[in-house]
Amino acid sequence: MATQPTIAISHLGCEKNRIDTEHILGLLVQAGYQVDSNEELADYVIVNTCSFIEAAREESVRTLVELADAKKKIVITGCMAQHFQEQLLDELPEAVAVVGTGDYHKIVDVIKRVEQGERVKEVSAEPTYIADETVPRYRTTSEGVAYLRVAEGCDYRCAFCIIPHLRGNQRSRTIESIVTEAQQLAEQGVQEIILISQITTNYGLDLYGEPKLAELLRALGKVDIPWIRMHYAYPTGLTPKVIAAMQDTPNVLPYLDLPLQHSHPDVLRAMNRPWQGRVNDQIIETLKTAIPDAVLRTTFIVGFPGETEEHFEHLREFVQRHEFDHVGVFTFSPEEGTPAYKLPNQLPQGIMDARRDALMEIQQPISLKQNQKSIAQAVDVLIEQQNPQTGELIGRSSRFAPEVDGLIYIEGDARLGSMVKVQITDADVYDLYGYVLE
């Protein structure tokens, strides 16, 4: 009997992509394939690509070219496979298959077909698939953390965003399915679940006819997981009902990732944002009043076509006024296939870079001030890493989401994946420092 080929996976992009990678791994292992992290020894390398903005595409292309130069047989999955399927097959003879964002669950069948000599293109034009708790999954995060996808796809059509084109319209999982997966993760010792989708506040709209985030949060409150964190909450979806569910559910963290993108109504209208700027100030103030210990994170795009000095000044004042805990700033990236790609008054990269730097300069002292509030406090910290040289522990408090926010550097002893009390002694712009309380 022929031996099964060995497969390596190279993961690029966001945590939504990461969950796809974890399901691909789970399905391959279940089917008896050897999955190896060493690309050099593998018969096939699956590259789960990102195509969100130009920089992400460049990283994906670099990875593919390096593997092609090493004469590897490449299976390309993810957003770039969805976006550029024909070009990838034309330009990379080493690509033995391209698999779209709604087709990764067919990976075992794809490998079998490739093994029989077929060059496979498995890309649904309109992705409709979403994995549930029955699909095997091999987690790639640190042992205490797991991402949990509540929905996939997006019904909004923001002018700059290619995601609906790549991921399809929103499709939500049932509350029962999500709770069952959360219970499975709790049994594996997970301490923190991060709820993700393109727009978490719209969760359930397609399935139940109205958003059901409040009901989902209350149901997850019954699962034995210390931290439930929400990502990608559109401000308009943070209704009194959702805020009440956050207040009433102790394990739902008062952490909100609000992808605001801009503050000026004209720019938001040009971006085709769903609420177009009328309510940003009001909603943020409402949130801060209702949840006084709320940790607010947001992202902004500077340099959207037509953004004037006056528009940018509005954004600067907005950032100064609201004192967000964490801010990410991106320069506009023109994506072919989106309305913003053809808009007039595109800004030079130099101006966009200068605006990004100016905004970060305003935010840094604010981030420092917010971090310094933790000094002299004893906080719960999830221990995730240990420096092998120094023995120093590295973890996060509930104020910090993985990958995007800061870390806490800790003296003392604790088990990886455990949650311990840490006395905070110092802070800088991004990180905190402290020691384990016995």
Numbered residues of the known binding site: 14, 50, 79, 154, 158, 161
Helix, strand or coil, per DSSP, at residue 168: coil
CB 170 within 8 A of CB 207: no
CB 25 within 8 A of CB 138: yes
**Tokens 């907005």 belong to which residue?**
318
For residue 280, what is the DSSP state? H
φ, ψ for residue 339, nearest 5 deg? -60, -35
**Whole-number Å distance between alpha carbons of 7 and 198:** 30
**Whole-number Å distance between alpha carbons of 413 and 49:** 38
Feature table: binding site for [4Fe-4S] cluster: 14, 50, 79, 154, 158, 161
259: number of Cβ within 10 Å: 19
Q: Where are the alpha helices (DSSP H) in 70-118?
A: 79-83, 85-91, 107-115
Beta 6-11 vs 44-49: how paired, if at all?
parallel
Tokens encoding 206: 């397609």
User: Which segments within 241-314 are labelled E, that is strand?
Assistant: 252-261, 295-302
On the 0-12 / 13-18 / 19+ scale of CB atoms within 10 A, 289 is exposed
CB 264 within 8 A of CB 331: no
226 CB-near residues (< 8 Å, 6+ apart):
191, 192, 251, 380, 419
